[in-house]
Amino acid sequence: KRIKQYMSVNDFMEVFKIIKSIVNAYHDSKNLNIDDYFTDLLPNIGMYLRVAYRKSGDATRNQIINWMDELEKQKYYENYYLEDIIKNVRICI
């Protein structure tokens, strides 16, 4: 809900911060790979991340790229769905 609010006012840095926080929270809680609710959220998260990347300025894009690079180094936290959405965002680059 909050992501949609920030999208509507073109605050893509906040959109990115929320997405990153969600992913990291699930990873930190050790629920990233076992929580069906998170898995169900991933298509929407991927869509919002792609839009944020495409529509944002250079500073936000660079932060998104750096985060995706870090996820890649960590093998996407061993989550195939997360890997898939990140690779789809990379297609935009």
What's the confidence (pLDDT) of residue 60? 96
Q: How confident is the model at residue 91 (pLDDT cuts 50, 70, 90)?
A: confident
- Mean pLDDT for the stretch of residues 70-80: 91
Q: How confident is the model at residue 32 (pLDDT cuts 50, 70, 90)?
A: confident
- Lowest mean pLDDT of 25-29, 31-35, 68-72, 87-91, name the range: 31-35
Q: How confident is the model at residue 71 (pLDDT cuts 50, 70, 90)?
A: very high
Could you write out the DSSP letters of every residue in 21-44?
Answer: HHHHHHHHTT-TTT-HHHHHHHHH
Mean pLDDT, the chain, as a whole number?
92
